[in-house]
Amino acid sequence: MGSLIAGERAKGMKKPHWKNWLPQRLRYRLFGAFVVLILLPFSALNVYNYQQIESLVEQKISEQSHEQLVQMYRSLEDQMSIAFKTLIFLEQDSAVRSVLTSPDSRTPLENKSLVEEKFKMINNSFFLYNPSVYFTLLDFYDSVYTSYLPKKALAYGPYLEQFRERLGEITIPKGGVNSQPLQPEELFYRWDARDANPLLRELSSSPYLLSLYAYMKDSGGKRYGLARISIDYSYWFQTMLKDSQGNQEYYLITGSGETIARSSKTAMLSSEVTREIALHPAQAYLTDPASDTLINYVYIESLDWYMVNRIPLSILFTEISELKQRYFLTFFAFTGAFVVMAFMISATFTRPLSHLQNKMKEVVRKNLKIRIPEGRSRGEVLELTRTFNTMLDDANQMINRLKAEERQKEAVHFHMLLAQMNPHFLLNTLNTMKWSAIRSGNEEISEICVSLGKLLEVSLNSQVELVYLKDEIELVQAYLHIQRIRYRDSFEVTCEFDDKLEYALVPKLSLQPLVENAIHHGVGPLEQLGLIRIRIYRQDTGTLMLEVADNGIGMEESRRLQVTRTRPGIGLSNLRERLRLLFKGQSKLVVIDTQPGTLVKFSIPFLLSTPYVQKRPD
């Protein structure tokens, strides 16, 4: 029996297997949390970031290399454009045209000297960056003019055969000038990117020349000669690469994969790379795992050429690999130091924290009537203890303040209830006076009581801040009825507003204080008949304008007469403050001295409310 009970206890006390691996002490839990939540994710993040950096560096270098290749491509296009402009220049040159159309007017030596001088001038003016440009001109009189001196003199026939291969059948006209202009379907010029001219091999190391073959024609379109402008692209290619980095290789290859120019004699592209470039001409760059290089290229569609740049990847990532190695060594060194310091620091506050925890439980049991001793605490634990004691003091003060405020609220509520009794008592007294006046036949006193009762009823309704304009006008009429009796009809009041504005919303008792000021401070002291004008209108800006104007004594005279007044007026200041609270800066009240009289006006947002009418059931 005893062994059975012991077995059940052991079974009940046995923990799940995975919990045995969890640290039980706080310092080890902090270390485990640091490793799992910070160290491992941060290391993985840094590895990922370095991979992204390598990718960005590769992309950035590719973009820079591609931009360089594009600039070289544009330079080649500029050379081709200049060659075409040179052709036009030669066509329009009268001396060249005279030599080709009238060779007998000068000696052959003079003709040759004149044309060669033009060739030198063109090279000096147009082809500063590529002086290895060769010119060949043929007339229709068996004469050939070149900008170079071939080692072996050649006859007219071989040159003419070259032009015939590029431009088609060439008919030599009688008289040296073709009287028929070019037809639209005839070929005027042609670029030959593979001009393997054996006549120029002794002058250029390029396997091919880039040549422009064209007819020369006058302003009327009549042909009078043939021209060839050949660009030594190998020389141009080397000139463009003279400032390039030595660890990069550049190639100029044809669409079939033949290398026609390279930055160094030992540089060579594999057939797999040239095939991949030809299959994806618009891709711009690729990586060659066989040579561990980054290859960038630009396709020259007009010539079916590719400009290629090859950069070893080891050059790109050597510095990044060294930086990554130094970074991770430093990171793990600081991590080890941090772990040691974490163990040391945790040992200094785990015990005070346990003591602080026990004291907090005691504070809860004693309803905040205890303070935690600060003598044995240090550092952050001391600051925590002081903060907690301060929080206890603030909580006690807040509780006492809330109790005092609650008592004050009860007192204010009592006074509010008491204050509500006085207006109601006054209103009941007015009703008693009104019926007493009616019974005695005094209509004037009864009308005064009715008007004053309306004003009191509005003041008692403190829940409503905005009323209809027509209701506000009725209140003003009630007030005016009392004042006319007092001042014995010594003033007249006009009220102007559109009937469509009857249900516009205005602040309650907003016109009454203005009318009151117009009577007491304006038309009241007048000896003649006073005039008060009330005007309400809507502006295009979406505001409602309310004006009260009088022809009274004016602002300055009114202030002079009221020097001995002990209680300051509150009408305008009260209205201005109510407008500010109701419309939050969207209203404006101004007082204007019109001499004579005064104009007071204020603007509020236009708010129109349709009265609610309950439909009767059918």
- Summarize pLDDT for 372-427 with one digit per residue, the tens: 676 666 666 677 777 877 887 777 788 888 888 787 776 655 554 444 444 544 55
Omega cis (within 30) before 507: no
**Beta pairing class for 543-550 and 598-605:** antiparallel
- pLDDT of res. 419: 46
Residue 545 has pLDDT above 50, yes or no: yes
| Partners of 192 in beta bridges | 211
- pLDDT of res. 531: 93
Q: Could you tell me the two tokens for 459?
A: 């003041």
> Where do we find the tokens 């003003």?
476
Residue 17 has pLDDT above 60, yes or no: no
Inter-residue contact 88 to 96 (CB < 8 Å): no
Residue 264 has pLDDT above 60, yes or no: yes
| Partners of 226 in beta bridges | 138, 215
**Beta pairing class for 133-138 and 144-146:** antiparallel
Give the rounded distance of the alpha carbon of 401 from its chain centre: 50
pLDDT, the chain, mean: 76
Q: Is the dihedral of CA 56, 61, 66, 71 positive or negative?
A: positive
- pLDDT of res. 281: 80
- pLDDT of res. 205: 67
Which amino acid belongs to residue 44?
A
Inter-residue contact 487 to 479 (CB < 8 Å): no
**Mean per-residue pLDDT for 275-290?**
81
Spatial separation of the C-alpha atoms in residues 113 and 549, rounded to whole Å: 105
Spatial separation of the C-alpha atoms in residues 221 and 182, rounded to whole Å: 6
CA distances to 81, 321, 368 from 317, rounded to whole Å, are: 40, 6, 65
In terms of pLDDT, which residue wins out, 594 or 203?
594
- pLDDT of res. 549: 94
- Residue-wise pLDDT tens digits, 504-525: 999 988 898 899 889 888 888 8
| Helix, strand, coil distribution of the chain in percent, nearest 5 | 55, 20, 30
